[in-house]
Structure 1
Amino acid sequence: MDRTELSLLDLGFELPVSGTDAVSGWSKGTSYGDPDAALDRVVAHWFNLPRWHGNAHLTARAVDGTPRLVSAGRSVYEADGWKITLDVRPDHKAVFSDVRQADVYVMTHVMEIRRLSGNTFTAAEVTPVLGALHVGLSFALGRWVAPALPVGQNDQGQTVWGQWGPMLCDPARRISSGWWYPEDQASLADLLGCLLPAFGDPHRERTLRLQMQYAITAITDRGFVEQRIMIGAAGLEHMMWQELVLSGRLAETEFKSGRWPAHRKLRAVLTDAGVELEVYEDRLPAAATFAARQQVDGDRQADSADVVTRVRNRLVHPKETQEPVYSVKGLVTETWLLTRHYLTLLVLRSIGYRGAYQDLSRTNRWVGETERVPWA
């Protein structure tokens, strides 16, 4: 293996790479150019975003120069002092026709980021915006999508900064597993309005990024269901700690005491968010059957907080027999649906989102069927 440098076309920048031979190798990623340069705009290319109808039309040109209208191909968002423009590629439908194949990655959109005021900015100022868009859109879609190879240009149109690096990105899919319906542009604008300020705060960014990473893994409909439940449960634990301990509502010792078992803590934060906890037999028959068999303290009936925490405990702790879980057909799947639903809602509430969402605990809803978040 040889260490060498890769020249970036005519830009005058060299990137360190590791080569196995004269024609192949890899790069671990790096930034190039001047990180303190005054940038007029940043351009990046998105991979694996779905096609949605934007708020403006585009004009493209075919190979022979013939003009071509791309209906509703541009989406423009304004949030936290930034203007973000996303243009879909004209042949999106054609390139997405083979996404059922394994490991397909498609460049689907071009993005431009500018200051709303028209002022310049630095790479350090725009990096949190790129991070928020990467994690935020992935959280909304329930799978990793990525903005790749961002370049910064000055007011003369010269490239003065750029970034090469590996980005988390799942293979392209036609159908989203996420809570956001891609045709609902108002909700995406609301999400960005909450996300960008949060990611701009270094104290909030780390926590929120971790919570969204938990949620993305829990939301996706691939892999073992038990794995998704456990990742989602870890995310719920993180949210409960934030909402109950860091807020000052409970002391750390009280949070860990037997007086506050997992179901009570989860019930508390969900109730604060206005989330309904009743298990309906017509929506979640297996969970309803399991809940009816549970013994609880007092006169109350077992609810979805009991279902989520008790199933998770039986899956994780060897001393708990797993027979009551697997004897109810469909219970593990419905527990996953509830877990991802609750984690999604708690993350959205933590950033102040008040728009619409798709209920991830339901599998029998219509395409595009959304509702307002409970606390709205």
Structure 2
Amino acid sequence: MDGWKIHLDVRPDHKEIWDELLKTRLYAMTHTMQISRADGQQFTAAEARHLLVALHFGMSFCLGRWVAPLLPVGIGADGAVVWEEWAALHCDPAKSLSSGWWQPWDPEALARFMDGLVPAFSDPVKAEPLRLQISYAITAIRDQGFVEQRVMIGAAGLEHAMWQRLVLAGVLTRREYKNTRVWKAHIKLRKVLEGINVSLDIDKTQLPAMARFIDEALQRSGEQLDGPEAVARIRNSLVHPEEAQKNTYEIPGLVTEAWLLTRHYLSLLVLESLGYRGPHQNLARIRGWAGETEETPWS
């Protein structure tokens, strides 16, 4: 990818180590990796820096938890160690199931994703906002901590993506974007999601609490809400502690489903921005078969 060759190999006693990690919640090396240039030329640690960062953020985004390429060592032409790094990178304990968009049994999908990610991380202009957006996405995708926190951080990630796609892309001026009377949050979110062909409908079998929330809004005021507007309303009810917050908690599971839909929207926006096309796990779905995937909607 992008002129680099990566060999990733599982350790021979992986099953025993993995089973132990799931019990102890500690840390261990599970794989080894060799990085070289595809043309066989030498390179410096500084030249490989963006690749290591891309692997850290990219693999974490794929799995929905922080994983890290730890303890890299540079080997010189004579086979001697000429560089090494002992930094403690952000890493979560092992999990038996992935919370992320990637199905770990599909290495081809991972390769397609990394083909878009690694060049982006080599571009300083793209890399910094991309790192922030993926950090938002990983934190929102992880199924740990208070669900309200995940909704909030996911909303921040969506705001970041909307600003990029609407203001930086020249669709709206800064003044127009900040005019919340005209361009409310759900209108902006709806516009960017429609731009990549993401469905705005609510699946009643997957998100029954959200469907009930929408039905009650229709009965109460005649409003027909879609996914973006429902997500925005629930997020606002959490931020502004008024009567609406009480109503939010009267529907069991509603905040959880708002989180599921938020992380689904954010993960798709990140994937599309990197040019990824192919299978992904729909993060708004928690019912169905393990490993079930669907094609990206813009494919």
How high is the TM-score relative to the length of structure 1? 0.77
Is 1:202 aligned with 2:119? no
1:159-218 deviation digits (Å, cap 9, x = unpaired): 111112110000111111111001101100001100110000011111111101001110
Whichever of the two has the greater Rg, that structure is 1
Which one-letter code corresponds to 1:305 in the other structure? P
Alignment correspondent of 2:18: 96
Higher helix share: 2
Is 1:262 aligned to 2:188, yes or no? no
The answer on whether the counterparts of 1:240 and 1:265 sit within 8 Å (CA) in structure 2 is yes
For the residue of structure 2 that corresponds to 1:209, the secondary structure is: helix
Aligned letter for 1:274?
Answer: N
Corresponding residue for residue 33 of structure 1 = none
Q: Give distance in 2, aligned partners of 1:186 and 1:100.
A: 26
Question: Map of 1:189-228 to 2, 5 A cutoff?
Answer: 189-228=111-150
Q: Aligned match of 2:8 in 81, 86, 96?
A: 86
Structure 1 position 98, deviation (Å)? 2.5
Partner in structure 2 of residue 135 of structure 1: 57
Secondary structure at the residue paired with 1:147? Answer: coil
CA separation in 1, counterparts of 2:97 and 2:201?
Answer: 29
Q: Partners of 1:300 and 1:216 in 2: how far apart?
A: 33
| Structure 1 residue identity aligned to 2:135 | Q
CA distance in 1, matches of 2:85, 2:218: 56
Aligned equivalents of 1:358, 1:367: Cα separation in 2: 10
Aligned equivalent of 2:267 = 344
Distance 1:119 1:139 in 2: 30
1:36-47 → structure 2 map (5 Å cutoff): none
Task: Give unpaired runs (5+ residues) of structure 1.
Answer: 1-78
Name the aligned partner's letter for residue 170 of structure 2: G
The residue identity in structure 1 corresponding to 2:144 is R
Q: What secondary structure, in the 3-state scheme, does the structure 1 residue paired with 2:88 have?
A: coil
* In structure 2, distance between residues paired with 1:355 and 1:282: 24
Q: 1:300 to 1:186 in 2, by over 3 A?
A: farther
Deviation at 1:283, TM superposition (A): 1.6
Distance in 1 between residues matched to 2:173 and 2:100, nearest whole Å = 34
- State the distance in 1 between where 2:58 and 2:96 align: 19
1:367 and 2:290 correspond: yes
- SS of the residue corresponding to residue 71 of structure 2 reads strand
Structure 2 SS opposite 1:293: helix
Aligned residue number for residue 30 of structure 2: 108
Write out aligned runs for 1:1-376 (5 A). 79-257=1-179, 258-294=181-217, 301-319=224-242, 321-376=244-299
Query: 1:309 & 1:202 partners in 2: Cα distance?
Result: 32
Residue 295 of structure 1: CA displacement? Answer: 5.7
Are the equivalent residues in 2 in contact too, given 1:359–1:370 (CA < 8 A)? Answer: yes
Q: Which range moved further: 238-247 or 314-323?
A: 314-323
Q: Which runs of 5+ in 2 are unaligned?
A: none
- Counterpart amino acid of residue 265 in structure 1: K
Identity score, percent = 55
CA distance in 1: counterparts of 2:176 and 2:27, whole angstroms: 48
Per-residue deviation, residues 271-307 of structure 1 (Å, max 9, x unmatched): 00100011121221110111122369x9972100011
What amino acid is the match of 2:112? Answer: D
1:328 deviation in Å?
0.7
**Residue 31 of structure 1 aligns with which residue?**
none
- DSSP 3-state at the match of 2:31: strand
**Cα distance between partner residues in 1 of 2:269 and 2:243:** 28
**1 or 2 for the larger relative contact order (CA 8 Å, sep ≥6)?**
2
- Aligned partner of 1:76 in structure 2 is none
CA contact (8 A) 1:99 1:174 kept: no
Q: Give runs of ≥4 in structure 1 deviating > 4 Å.
A: none
What TM-score results when the alignment is normalised by the length of structure 2? 0.96
